[in-house]
Amino acid sequence: MRQKLVSPDQIISRIAARQHGVITLGQLVEAGLSPSGISRRVAAGRLHRVYRGVYAVGHAGLSNEGRWMAAVLACGEGALLSHRSAAELWGLLQPCSSPIHVTVPGAGGRAKRQGLVFHRPPSLISAAIASRKGIAVTTPARTLADLRRSESAGVVRRAERAASFKGLEIADEGGHGGERSELERRFLRLCSLRKVPKPEVNYPVGPYTVDFVWPFDRLAAETDGWAAHRGRQAFEDDRARDLFLRSQGYEVLRFTWRQITEDPASVTEILRRYLY
C-alpha cells in the first residue's frame, strides 16, 4: 500500500496546535514551504505576521498564551517570558494588555520591537528556567524576584499571595536547593539528548508543584535527591503527594540521582513506555 504523504499545511497545523496557534519562519521552511508559498498564504489570510519571523496560523486572533509564545519565539534561542508576563502565565497576576516582557541572553543583538520589553540580566542560572504550557518562562521564584525589582509593592504582594495559595516553590531565586537544581538540570539534559518529549517544569497540580509533567499524557516525574527526601516526614509527604496526583489521573514516576546519572538508558526506556 502506498504511504500517504503529509502535506506542508498538515505539518504546519500540527506545529501551531502545539504552540498556541503560532509558528516561526524556520518551522514553515522546515515544513516544506518556499518563500513564495509563505507569501501566498499570507496574501490569502492563512498566515498572519505577529512579529518578524513569527506568524499566527489560520487567524490573527491569539489567546494570551499565543501572544506570549509568539513573543518568546520572536526573540530567539534562550529567550524566556519574564517579569509581569511570566507572573500572568503562572497565574500570579491577571493578564492585561501591557507590553510583553522577555528575558534574552547576552547584551545585544536584538533591536526594539513594538509591544515587547527586553531584559538582559548579567546571568541566568539553569535553575531559574522553567516551562509552562510549552512556553519557556522564568520559575515562580525568579519571576517574583524580577517583580520586586520592577513592580509596586502592592503588585508584588498580590503575586506572592497567589504563589503561596497555589503551593508554588518561591523560597529563593533558584527555586530549590543546589542538589535538586542540578538533578533537574541533568534530567532535562537526558530528555533532550535522548529525544524524549520536553516536559513542563515546576508544574502546578492542585496544592503541589511537580518537578516534571507531560500534561496531555497525564504523566508526572519527580527527581528525588537524598537530602530533600530523607526522614519520616519527607516519606509521608511524598506518599501523600503521589496519592493526590494519582487521584487526578496522573501516573507518577520517581527517579533517583543514581538512576539519572548512572543508568540513563533505563530511565529513557521507562519514560518512552508511557509517552509513546
Domains of the chain: 8-57 (no CATH), 76-166 (no CATH), 178-275 (3.40.960.10)
**For 9-43, how does the pLDDT look when each residue is reduced to its tens digit (9 = 90+)?**
999 999 999 999 999 999 999 999 999 999 999 99
| For range 147-166, the mean pLDDT | 86
194-197 long-range contacts (CB < 8 A, ≥24 apart) are 194/264, 194/268, 196/268, 196/271, 196/272, 196/275, 197/275
> Any residues with CB less than 8 A from the CB of 42 and at least 6 apart, and which?
48, 49, 55
pLDDT at 227 over 60: no
Q: Which three cell numbers stand for residue 46?
A: 492563512
Round the average pLDDT of the chain to a whole number and report it. 85
